[in-house]
A and B are shown apart, each in its own frame.
Chain A
């Protein structure tokens, strides 16, 4: 019984329990302890008991028998009986919750569930240790707004605690996840640095006023941009063609497996469609959808299928059962949110793409910040969904994973390494272009303020991106080696780990992207070139592959952790 109920009646919980026990029969201290433990399942410490007994005796509600031998026997007095009845009536009056309307009761349960959901924000290591007892506590606790706020603060505190941060990296598979985050951040930083450079050349149409210096600069910019675009497109196409083939193989195998279970067909369709859509998006965005460079007036070539309204409607329809299934399966709303968002965006896309005078409208549309934001949200939502579907896929793959453990991991590894290597290559190519530009910069006597500011900034940001990418590369290489060395020993079928992809992975890039997109155009020197929007879906695919690998190793790691102590895995890791 919650303590506060009796406090208002001047009775503490031990006192109330003592009184109600003594009401049945007189007893000594030891007897009271045992009776309370039997009745309420509560262990009352001797100190608490005797403090309460002394208090009750002082109030005259109980009396001790002094005549008998040392264990004093206490009995209830008349005022004590009255006080007890008073407290009981009070506690009944203050306990109307048991008789709540079913709807209200349901609402209350939902609140409790929401509060328990907040525990998801705590670090994994923390949750493994404390989550169960915390849930037990929260179910007993009287929930207020302050409880929720306090839980948020507690989660923040645990997140900031270096102890849990350090603990997370003990597991090699989590290290892999961390390097995936690194990798993704590197992509973002790289895209960010691109804004500075391309803003110079394409957006702000650099003036060639007839004097030699500025014309030289304009020319150098043109050459730089052309070579940069060629490098990026070339490496992108290479990566896509290298990585898509094994991915498609895995996908086909998975769809074949799922098709055997007819009841899961509904679940297969949207996922398969989405993955195909993502693949299509990559081809579309690297192919005819790309703007030809040449300033704001450049023409748009369309990709016919992607721009037809019925295709988008089909995609949307495919998502509806998926949303329903997700809402039913997922415990939290957060996971269904990206799906719903994606469907809404698809709907929006239908209207957009079926508009009259499409080409002109599109070219105008792509220069609007809100469209770019929407597009990026679409990409991010797709990322969440693909990561989620990766989980579903892995559940299905479980049956034959044992025989072909490397089937999924090898292409993922290959792609991760290729993508990072490609990105580093792009960084180097860009850096070489920068050196050329650096020389040109010296020719400028009256360089615009924006130019002198943007050049070094772009350079620094790009260097940062390259460093992050290298770190990610090193980390993932080491981790993958450690994991594959450790996984040789495992023979038991892997257990599915129910924890989904970390939301933080998605949220952080989203925040960064939105921040980039909301930068005032004047600051970045003009419009955002569209091929920057091409990069995210491309690297999205790469990150998805890595996410698949992470999921895969998590599954394996769960089995591994059960079999052998963590230190052994660590040793292997250190050995490598």
Chain B
């Protein structure tokens, strides 16, 4: 799990955002950017977005669909869903442990 995260390089964060965005259905690049902006407030730039898309696609976590006009929608694959779930689990762990450890501090 942690190893996988390392392999994603500097785009690890955009990758999970893209996976999360695609979890609700196929989207093309611009729709992804808008969706990500809506659900988490991160404004991804095209360069970052496509660097992450290229990595995810190569890894087999997302899949390109037939291009409509010039835009090409992407969908999440089974492996991608699994990766996203694992990532969410980790994030949950981080959140719960963070909360546990912060709680005594805020009381004192």
Contact = CB atoms under 8 A, between A and B. Distances in A.
Interface of A: 3-4, 7, 12-13, 42-43, 45, 47-48, 126, 129-130, 132-138, 140-141, 146-147, 150-155, 157-158, 163
Contact of A153 (B25, B47, B58): B47
A4 B24 contact: no
B69 to A, nearest CB: 7
Considering residues A138, A150, A163, which has the most beta carbons from chain B within 10 angstroms of its beta carbon? A150
A146 B45 CA distance: 8
Given A4-B37, A158-B51, A132 B70 contact: yes
A481 to B, nearest CB: 32
B46 A134 contact: yes
A269 to B, nearest CB: 40
Contact of A13 (B9, B29, B34, B51): B34
Contacts of B58: 163
Contacts of A3: 34, 37-38
Given A137-B29, A151-B46, A157 B70 contact: no
Contacts of A152: 47
B80 to A, nearest CB: 17
Contact of A150 (B31, B35, B37, B47): B47
Contacts of A126: 54
B72 interface: yes
Interface in B1-33: 9-11, 24-25, 28-31, 33
A135 B70 contact: yes
Nearest to B26: A43
Q: Which of B9, B45, B71, B72 has the largest number of chain A CB atoms within 10 A? A: B45
B60 to A, nearest CB: 13
Most buried by A among B31, B67, B69: B31
B64 to A, nearest CB: 9
9 contacts: A3-B37, A45-B25, A129-B54, A135-B70, A136-B71, A146-B45, A153-B47, A154-B51, A157-B11
A153 B11 CA distance: 11
Summarize B's interface: helix, strand, loop or mixed: helix
Contacts, number: 78
Interface residues of B, number: 29
A382 B50 CA distance: 36
Residue from B24, B25, B30, B53 having most chain A Cβ neighbours under 10 A: B30
Contacts of B71: 133, 136-137
B48 interface: yes
Contacts of A134: 29, 46, 50
Contacts of A43: 25
Q: Which of A42, A48, A126, A157 has the most CB of B within 10 A?
A: A157
Nearest to A144: B45
B67 A154 contact: no
A155 B50 CA distance: 10
B2 to A, nearest CB: 22
A147 B45 contact: yes
Contacts of B45: 146-147, 150-151
B47 A133 contact: no
B72 A133 contact: yes
Nearest to B58: A163
B70 A133 contact: yes
Nearest to B23: A47
Contacts of B51: 154, 157-158
B50 A154 contact: yes
A152 B46 CA distance: 11
Contacts of B50: 130, 134, 137, 154
Contacts of A163: 58
B22 to A, nearest CB: 10
B10 A133 contact: no
Q: State the 9 A-B residue pairs at the shortest beta-carbon distance, nearest first.
A: A154-B47, A150-B45, A150-B47, A136-B70, A45-B25, A151-B47, A137-B29, A3-B34, A47-B24
Contacts of B72: 133
Contacts of B31: 42
A465 B9 CA distance: 35
Contacts of A153: 47-48
